[in-house]
Amino acid sequence: MNKRILAGLAAAVMTFGMCGCSNSGSSASPESGSTGGDSSAAVNESSTADSTAESTENSSQTDEPQPETYEEYYEIMKQKSLCSLGNTAAMKKVIEKAKNGEELTLSFIGGSITEGYTVNAAKCYAANTYVWFMKQYGTNGEKVHYVNAGLSGTPSILGSFRLERDVLANDPDVLFIEFAVNDGTDINYLTAYEGIIRSAYAKNPDIAIVLLFARTEDGYTAQDGMKKIGEYYDLPMISYADGITYLMDNGQLTWKEFSKDGSHPNLHGHEMVTDMISYYFEQVEAAQEPSEYVYPEEPMYSEQYVNCHILESDALTPESLGSWEAGSNINTFDKGWTFKGSADKNEPIVFKAKGTDLYLLFKENSAGSGMGSVKVTCTDESGNAQDTLVEGETSGGWGDPTVASIAAGEESHEYTISIEMLEGTENKEFQILGLGYKE
């Protein structure tokens, strides 16, 4: 994509750097360890061997030619962005389908970077990748389809619920997952991230999944924990975080050349990300035939967020509307219910839904935005009730959709869900975007 890259340069540059990802930016739980010998002789022998090896390595590195031009650094950037090629069996089949003129779909799920925030959606990395793939492999462009399920301000927890509706309903052959700057690093995010992977495989065992890792200007990325999941599932991993960090560390790129703000690539930035992805596809083509992919039967963490579903007004009718109205106004979530604020009315909206776990999808916003809080009561068929307070204003709210657990159990139950404004917030607004459930 970048016109400054000279044809045929890749072969000349391959000697300059080693492929693989560094630990760019802030991340979770860096591993550390130490080893020791049983005697001073063993320690001395080890020390001597290490010194000799280090000296040889340093000498070798000094003798190697170093990149001199931007184009040479750029080629190494692409190499360093490819953390793992993973098992290439599924993607090779996808490429072959495209070359044979068969129907196939490329899909992308993530946050605002995938959505194309700050750039024209037709110029984001996802759209660019689709166009590149179609031109490179598609003998019939009309048979290569594109699904972009990027949604600003959303992490993989909400993504695990959106996946079925926004992605899997389109029967994709390829799924790119991008949540490294929207996710936190705790177990809940990691479990949800893994849940997206396992849900996709449950729907289509032949799907080709690619993990994409981003970073912010201050270096934040959740990629370390995600990489461990990628290794567990033997998936391809592309870290544009590591690629651009390499260029910046070597004075070949500034953040302002890559982004207009602290998180989102500009047009040139999206082109760079596309170049890293196209490099991955080229390596898949060049790779030898892989062994058959073996899907891990057991999850790395848990199946808490596997096969999650959403109920909206087109599939769920309230038992009682109470003081609420049908409709909501969030992007891609307009089939909800809204409480618009009332000094004298606070009748609950009541639903019935079945599942082992229930979740409330709702709109959150920052403090002072006029969003209220709700009390949610979930009562099973035996009369056992669970109460949950859900706050519509949070420190991290941006007017985006989010999700909260409202009922959890080992077995499936038929729940009656009653939702009313918390006392003292009846004059404020609250938007229910849907109910999430697991069977």
- Contact present, 4 and 72 (Cβ < 8 Å): no
Return the pLDDT at 187. 97
DSSP string, 62-83: HHSPPP-SHHHHHHHHHHHHEE
Return the pLDDT at 21. 56
- Domains of the chain are 70-286 (3.40.50.1110), 309-438 (2.60.120.260)
- Contact present, 402 and 371 (Cβ < 8 Å): no
Cα distance between residue 100 and residue 43, in whole Å: 60
Return the pLDDT at 141. 76
Low-confidence ranges of the chain (pLDDT < 50): 1-20, 22-62
Return the pLDDT at 222. 98
Return the pLDDT at 75. 98
Return the pLDDT at 342. 86
- Using DSSP bridges, classify how beta strands 337-339 and 325-326 pair: parallel, antiparallel or unpaired: antiparallel
Return the pLDDT at 26. 41
Return the pLDDT at 61. 45
Task: Please tell me the total number of residues recorded for the chain in this structure.
Answer: 439
Predicted TM-score (pTM) of the model is: 0.86
Return the pLDDT at 3. 33
Return the pLDDT at 135. 94
DSSP string, 230-297: HHHTT--EEEHHHHHHHHHHTTS--HHHHBSSSS-B-HHHHHHHHHHHHHHHHHHHHSPPPPPP---S
Cα distance between residue 415 and residue 249, in whole Å: 55
**Radius of gyration of the chain from its Cα atoms, rounded to whole angstroms:** 25
